[in-house]
Chains A and B, each alone.
Chain A
C-alpha cells in the first residue's frame, strides 16, 4: 500500500478535522 500523500496543508487540516485523525507533516527535502 502506497501512502496517499496530500500536498495542501490547509486542505489536509480540514480533512483531519472531518475524519478526527491526526496530521503527519513530512518535511523531507533538505533546504540547503
Chain B
C-alpha cells in the first residue's frame, strides 16, 4: 500500500510514521501487543493506542482505516468537530469499504457529543437505508427511540 502515492501523501501529512522490523527488533511487538503481522497501530500524540487493524488491504480500504483512526484520535481527545469530519470523510470517500458503516456510527456519536440531540436517532434512521446488515446497524438500532 505504501508505494501508492495517495497512501504515502496521506501518511506523511497526518502521521509520524514508524516502521518496525519485527525480525531485527521484536520488542515493540510485545510492548504494543502486536502478535501477528501485518498490523497497523495508531497512537495519539501522547502515545495512547486509539485504533488498530490487521492484514493486507486494497488502497481504498487502507485509507479508510487510516481516516477512521484519525477520527478516533480526535474523538478521544474531545475534538468532536474534527472527529465528525474524519468519520464523514470515510462515509463519503469510501462508501463501499467495510469501515463506512463503522464511520457512520461514530459520526452520529460525534454529532451527539457536539450537542446535536437528534444525531443518534438520525443515524439509526440512516442505518435503515444503508449498511442494514452491518453489526453497526444493530448497535445503532437502540437509538431509534432517541430521536
User: Which one, B14, B17, B22, B39, contacts A5 given CB within 8 A?
Assistant: B17
Decide if B20 touches A22 in the complex (CB within 8 Å): no
User: Which one, B18, B23, B44, contacts A7 given CB within 8 A?
Assistant: B18
Decide if B16 touches A9 in the complex (CB within 8 Å): no
* Count class of interface residues, chain B: 35 or more
User: Which one, A1, A21, A27, A29, contacts B16 given CB within 8 A?
Assistant: A21
A9–B9 CA distance with the chains assembled, in angstroms: 21
Decide if A25 touches B70 in the complex (CB within 8 Å): no
Q: Looking at the assembled complex, report how far the CB atom of A27 sits from the nearest CB atom of chain B, in whole angstroms.
A: 5
Decide if A17 touches B46 in the complex (CB within 8 Å): yes
Q: Mark B22-56, 1 if CB is under 8 A from A, else 0.
A: 11011011011010111111111111001000000
* Count class of interface residues, chain A: 20 to 34
Q: List, in ascending order, chain A residues with CB within 8 A of B28's CB.
A: 9, 25, 27
Name A28's closest neighbour in chain B (CB-CB): B38
**Can you add 11 more A-B contacts, CB < 8 Å, to A22-B43, A24-B40?**
A3-B2, A3-B12, A5-B18, A9-B28, A21-B45, A22-B14, A22-B69, A23-B17, A24-B41, A27-B29, A30-B37
Give chain B's interface residues, CB within 8 Å of chain A. Answer: 2, 5, 8-9, 11-12, 14-23, 25-26, 28-29, 31-32, 34, 36-47, 50, 66, 69-70, 73
